[in-house]
């Protein structure tokens, strides 16, 4: 990155707290860059980040464990001597207190949920706070006291030291979670740290990543050729768009039409990408997928076959094109969760469709979105002129409709499922429900039952409707969709699809269920 483009940034050290990404997101929303590193990094690894950001401060996250536990997670003490302010949140607060000879013990009560913090000194990190602040707590250990040099800034009914500071040393601690929206003035506290204490400039904009990304791809690939598997999801589409701008016709986006896509999906993806100048090859591989799926009913077996075939088709296209580089739409949470570090140089990689390894060796892997969150990727996609439907597309599984169909995959079932899916999508998108739902789709169950169509007995399939709310797909709740919408969906499906006699609504949460049905 050229020095004039290096943004100010905050490093977040991840001690395993559930809100770690949320801290990073909140800081980025302030137009200040942030990166998450594992808590065990050395001071040199933090310094290393200086290549991509001006490290202005460090935040220590929360953790499910106790600072007093055997083998508890520690901090490289030299990080406190970096010369930048350090803020500990929850576990981070307790750890800083303990490292500075404070008394940290298991609290009399666990504080969980909404609590009141009584502000003793509304200064530095707590500048501008009211006397009593609603805050979000989640802790078992408590800081009972600190050496005199520390200022106690706040307490709660059961935590005598709920916030502290030592501006001389540049150390700050908060027992509560300012990153969680239930902490009403959480943003103010983070603002105090990021701007008031760390003196960050607002000089990071996700949209700048387009220009940066183009430059980086040019530098990495030089005169070589690259290939990307284009699923039609927002990540691969935006990655293809950026690399397309950098390489022109030296990138080929391969869209494998396995015959398991939704209505008109493959042609829509191709059209949208070509409109912004990306070279797309749609490979019609329906026959080979259908042939291999014939008679297969086991869900895992179906996934395996689809994954294998996908890789075969994709590898063949990559070879034919002479691609030396593989482009992937990996985004920041993918990278953090898989434990790869920013400077790791992956040469042989995994392809996420079907979850199988590629057997091809590429000279390198290009990941233009590796530092961005999903909504930042969406902002980029919009800036690059991708259509709304693509930018806001619901997650759609790599194995496509095969995981929304119980039992064998057949053309007949696919045809009915596609039509039912269009109806669900249209009805949900006509209502407010679309904006609050994570996914909404139809499933073809393997159950047939008797119905009456006209005056005749009919024996047909059961279509299930799934509408779920979720933030990250790890857990999900079925949507309490209005009856009128469900009734319209049911009427339209049974009226227009003679082969369907029954429509049911899935009222299972995840867990115990999953979102898809297979």
Task: Please identify every residue annotated as catalytic.
Answer: 90, 177, 179
**Alpha-carbon separation of residue 483 from 347, 428, 432, 505 (angstroms):** 52, 12, 14, 10
Contacts by 130-135, CB closer than 8 A, 24 or more apart: 130/185, 133/183, 133/184, 133/185, 134/182, 134/183, 134/184, 135/162, 135/176, 135/177, 135/178, 135/182, 135/183, 135/184, 135/186
* Cβ distance to ligand XMP smaller for residue 328 or 439: 439
**For every residue of 250-286, which 3-state class applies, written as one string?**
HEEEEEEECCCCCCCHHHHHHHHHHHCCCCEEEEECH
Calculate the dihedral angle through the C-alpha atoms of 202, 203, 207, 212, rounding to the nearest 10 degrees.
-160
CA gap 167, 169 in Å, rounded: 5
Question: Minimum distance from CB of 93 to ligand XMP (Å)?
Answer: 34
Cβ at position 403, least distance to ligand XMP in Å: 6
Strands 103-119 and 151-155: antiparallel
Q: Which element (helix H / strand E) includes 89?
A: strand 86-89
Residues 54-73 that bind ligand XMP (CB under 6 A): none
Smallest separation (angstroms) from ligand XMP to the CB of 515? 3
Burial 355-375 (b: 16+ CB within 10 A, else e): ebebebebebbbbbbbbbbbe
Q: Is 206 in the site for ligand XMP (CB under 6 A)?
A: no
Does residue 357 interact with ligand XMP by CB under 6 A?
no
Q: From residue 255, give the alpha-carbon distance in Å to each of 68, 177, 283, 380.
A: 53, 43, 6, 21
What character string, x for contact with ligand XMP (CB under 6 A) and - otherwise, covers 418-447?
---------------------x--------
Which 324-353 residues touch ligand XMP, going by CB under 6 A?
Answer: 352
DSSP 363: S
Q: How far is 356 from 426, CA to CA, in rounded Å?
A: 34
Question: What's the alpha-carbon Rg for the chain, to the nearest Å?
Answer: 26
The residue count for binding ligand XMP (CB under 6 A) is 12
Q: Verify binding: residue 399, ligand XMP, rule CB under 6 A.
A: yes
| Cα 105 → chain centroid | 35
Q: Which of 191, 175, 193 is nearest to 116 (CA)?
A: 175
What is the closest distance, in whole angstroms, from the C-beta atom of residue 291 to ligand XMP in the complex?
21
Taking the C-alpha atoms of residue 382 and residue 379, their distance in angstroms, rounded to an integer, is 5
Contact residue for ligand XMP among 128, 147, 385, 395 (CB under 6 A): 395
Q: Which are the contacts of 454, defined by CB distance < 8 A and separation ≥ 6?
A: none
Chain centroid to CA 261: how far? Answer: 23
Site for ligand XMP in 479-518 (CB under 6 A): 510, 514-516
Q: What is the binding site for ligand XMP (CB under 6 A)?
A: 352, 395, 397-399, 403, 439, 473, 510, 514-516
């Amino acid at each position: 990155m050229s020095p004039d483009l290096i943004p100010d940034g905050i490093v977040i050290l991840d001690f395993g707290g559930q809100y770690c990404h949320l801290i990073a997101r909140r800081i980025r929303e302030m137009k200040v860059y942030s990166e998450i590193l594992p808590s065990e990094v050395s001071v040199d690894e933090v310094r290393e980040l200086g290549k991509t950001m001006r490290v202005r401060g460090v935040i220590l996250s929360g953790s499910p464990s106790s600072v007093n536990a055997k083998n508890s997670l520690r901090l490289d003490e030299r990080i406190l001597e970096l010369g930048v302010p350090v803020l500990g949140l929850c576990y981070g607060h307790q750890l800083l207190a303990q490292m500075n000879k404070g008394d940290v013990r298991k609290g009399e009560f666990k504080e969980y949920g909404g609590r009141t913090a009584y502000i003793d000194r509304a200064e530095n990190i707590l500048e501008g706070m009211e006397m009593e602040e609603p805050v979000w707590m989640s802790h078992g250990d408590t800081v009972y006291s600190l050496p005199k040099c520390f200022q106690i800034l706040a307490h709660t009914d059961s935590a005598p030291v709920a916030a502290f500071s030592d501006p001389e040393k540049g150390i700050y601690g908060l027992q509560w979670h300012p990153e969680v929206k239930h902490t009403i003035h959480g943003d103010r506290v983070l603002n105090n740290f990021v701007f008031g204490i760390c003196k960050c400039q607002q000089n990071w904009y996700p949209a700048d990543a387009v220009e940066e990304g183009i430059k980086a791809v040019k530098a990495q690939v030089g005169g070589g050729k690259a290939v990307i598997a284009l699923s039609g999801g927002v990540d691969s589409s935006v990655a293809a768009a950026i690399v397309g701008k950098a390489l022109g016709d030296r990138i080929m986006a391969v869209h494998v039409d396995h015959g398991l896509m939704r209505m008109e999906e493959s042609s829509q993806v191709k059209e949208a990408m070509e409109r912004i100048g990306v070279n797309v090859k749609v490979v019609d591989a329906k026959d080979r997928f259908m042939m291999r799926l014939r008679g297969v009913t086991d869900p895992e077996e179906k996934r395996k076959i689809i994954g294998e075939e996908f890789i075969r088709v994709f590898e063949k296209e990559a070879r034919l094109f002479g691609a030396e580089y593989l482009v992937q739409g990996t985004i920041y949470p993918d990278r953090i969760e898989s434990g790869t570090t920013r400077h790791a140089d992956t040469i042989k990689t995994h392809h996420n469709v079907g979850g199988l390894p590629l057997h091809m060796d590429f000279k390198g892997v290009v990941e233009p979105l590796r530092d961005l969150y999903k909504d930042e990727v969406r902002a980029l996609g919009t800036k690059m002129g991708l259509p709304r439907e693509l930018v806001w597309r619901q997650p759609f599984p790599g194995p496509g409709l095969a995981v929304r169909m119980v039992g064998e995959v057949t053309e007949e079932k696919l045809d009915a499922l596609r039509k039912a899916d269009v109806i669900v999508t249209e009805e949900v998108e006509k209502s407010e429900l679309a904006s609050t739902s994570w996914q909404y789709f139809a499933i073809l169950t393997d159950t047939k039952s008797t119905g009456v169509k006209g005056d005749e007995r009919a024996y047909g399939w059961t279509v299930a409707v799934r509408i779920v709310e979720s933030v990250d797909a790890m857990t999900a709740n079925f949507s309490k969709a209005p009856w009128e919408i469900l009734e319209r969906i049911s009427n339209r499906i049974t009226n227009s699809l003679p082969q369907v006699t029954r429509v049911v609504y899935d009222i299972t949460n995840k867990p115990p269920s999953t979102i898809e049905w297979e």
